[in-house]
Structure 1
Amino acid sequence: MNYMELVDTMTPAIYRSFKLAVEIGKWPDGRRLTAEQRSEAMQAVIAWGKLHLPEEEQIGYIDKGHKAGDSCDEPSETTLKWQEDSRE
């Protein structure tokens, strides 16, 4: 069994357990994760998410949103008109 097959067999409960362990740095029983364990668990969480979650729920997803208008679609030069102060 290769790594991706192993990740694919993870249950959602294992995914949630690994994700929480990475977030707080501890296993469910309270033991601290080593740096290697944290790295491996994080890789498994990311890989499992890629296989089983929609893009917007995956680790690292950035919602780029939508523009409010079309003013940024085509950048154009805008000429500034300076007015002299008439109060003098």
Structure 2
Amino acid sequence: MTLDQLIKALTPEIYQNLRTAIELGRWPDGRKLDAEQKELCMQAVIYYEQMHDLPASERVGYMEDACKSEGKHDHDDHDDDDVQTLTLQ
């Protein structure tokens, strides 16, 4: 099974369970997530949100106050300073 197939197979319920596990640091049965599990869950959640084209306000890590400046360019000479490429492996 490829990563694309796996993410496409995730139901909204599984996606929400992964988000909750990341937030709490525990699986639904109470077991603690280790660092690798947390990282894999975060990658799956981000990929799921991208694949399902969720609005930015519904994505993990969204910060409303941080996005209010969108469209304002107080520092036009530094337009691409905050651009980072995310690579999922």
Aligned length: 71
Q: Read off the aligned partner of 1:44 and give its amino acid letter.
A: A
CA RMSD between the two structures? 2.6
Partner of 1:9: 9
Q: Which runs of 4+ in 1 moved over 6 A?
A: none
* Identity fraction in percent: 43
- Note the alpha carbon deviations across 1:37-64, whole angstroms, 9 max, x for none: 1110111011111122223312234553
| Aligned counterparts, 1:6-85, within 5 A | 6-52=6-52, 53-63=54-64, 64-65=67-68
State the distance in 1 between where 2:61 and 2:42 align.
12
What displacement does 1:65 show?
A: 2.7
TM-score after normalising by structure 1? 0.66
State the distance in 1 between where 2:61 and 2:4 align.
19
> For the pair shown, which has the larger CA radius of gyration, 1 or 2?
1
Which structure shows the higher helix fraction? 2
What displacement does 1:66 show?
A: 6.2
